[in-house]
């Protein structure tokens, strides 16, 4: 029997409580998720929090927020760090045992354990985000990992909307090769993760998901921003989104270095050029699009 997100054992949360709204970006690394996170997070109705799968390490004192603070010193994150110790966030950093549980869930529908802890954590994050940005309807998590999507989607009080972000496999392979991974491993990872994610997304209602090609988005950003606005009822500035990105404060602590507003400022015009360069991708072929069609991924 396939378990659904309506079935669960929740001790002190009920359906009468305020629903936690999350936009989750799922896909591979080096696929443009940080850039998409920045753009969507510039909406008044959304707050971009970067890759929340790194939250446990951040609370343990590793790394700094984009404002140069440890979790315990951060105005935004310290209330979360005080309420949740690192062990309580452990389900969001998956062990081999957790990986096996998620695998059984994705293949056979077995329920995932400890998802209630994820619900409590996101309830606190959502509350903290609304205090900082009262106009929001969503928090945005760009962790990309499909296993973390399972933990969110299996909670009845978390309303998850999914952006499946895909990229030309050649670009993904090239990015991984520059970091020491051989092309065969990189290509296999790209293909298998795309198929794996597709299998799970088949179980999510079409009203709660869209697929976005980073390569096509980079060529026609206004078209896809308009689509994202419509699908999620957001108000991203379709004409001046780069300016809006640079105005928005960042609460992120993980992801591509260009997520950091202060680093972009120090670089001056170069920081803007790096973002603009992302929107100058020309090498799109029918062969690439056909690969996605063959594995069953609809490219919007």
Q: Please report, for the domain that includes residue 108, its CATH number.
A: 3.40.50
- pLDDT, tens digit (0-9, with 9 covering 90-100), for 122-138: 888 999 999 999 999 99
Total of domains in the chain? 1
What's the confidence (pLDDT) of residue 168? 80
**pLDDT computed for residue 299 by the predictor:** 52
Strand pairing class (20-27; 158-166): parallel
The predicted pLDDT at position 62 comes to 85
Q: Which two tokens stand for residue 270?
A: 């170069």
Confidence of residue 39 (pLDDT cuts 50, 70, 90): very high
Q: Report how far apart, in Å, the C-alpha atoms of 164 and of each of 73, 142, 160, 206 are.
A: 34, 10, 12, 12
Interval 137-144 mean pLDDT: 94
Q: From its phi and psi, is residue 141 left (phi > 0), alpha (psi between -120 and 50) or beta?
A: beta
Domain that holds residue 74: 20-294
Residue 4 located in a structural domain: no
Domain contains 15: no
pLDDT at 90: 55
pLDDT surpasses 90 at 176 = no
2 part of a folded domain: no
């Amino acid at each position: 029997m396939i378990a659904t997100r309506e079935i669960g054992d929740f001790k002190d949360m009920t359906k009468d409580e305020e629903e936690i709204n999350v936009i989750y970006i799922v896909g591979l690394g080096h696929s443009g998720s940080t850039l998409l996170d920045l753009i969507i997070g510039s909406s008044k109705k959304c707050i971009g929090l970067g890759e929340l799968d790194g939250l446990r390490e951040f609370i343990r004192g590793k790394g700094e927020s984009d404002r140069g603070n440890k979790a315990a010193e951060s105005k935004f994150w310290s209330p979360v760090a005080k309420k949740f110790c690192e062990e309580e966030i452990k389900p969001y950093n998956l062990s081999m045992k957790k990986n096996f549980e998620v695998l059984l869930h994705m293949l056979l529908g077995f329920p995932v354990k400890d998802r209630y802890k994820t619900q409590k954590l996101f309830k606190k994050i959502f509350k903290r985000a609304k205090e900082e940005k009262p106009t929001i309807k969503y928090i945005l998590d760009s962790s990309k990992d499909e296993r973390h999507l399972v933990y969110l989607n299996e909670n009845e009080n978390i309303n998850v909307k999914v952006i499946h972000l895909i990229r030309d496999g050649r670009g993904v392979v090239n990015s991984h090769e520059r970091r020491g991974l051989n092309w065969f491993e990189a290509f296999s990872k790209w293909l298998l993760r795309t198929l794996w994610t597709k299998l799970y997304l088949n179980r999510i209602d079409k009203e709660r998901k869209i697929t976005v090609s980073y390569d096509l988005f980079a060529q026609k950003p206004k078209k896809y921003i308009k689509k994202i606005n419509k699908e999620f009822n957001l108000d991203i500035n379709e004409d001046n989104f780069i300016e809006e990105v640079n105005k928005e404060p960042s609460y992120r602590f993980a992801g591509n270095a260009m997520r950091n507003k202060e680093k972009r400022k120090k670089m001056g015009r170069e920081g803007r050029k790096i973002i603009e360069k992302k929107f100058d991708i020309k090498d799109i072929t029918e062969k690439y699009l056909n690969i996605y069609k063959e594995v069953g991924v609809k490219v919007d």
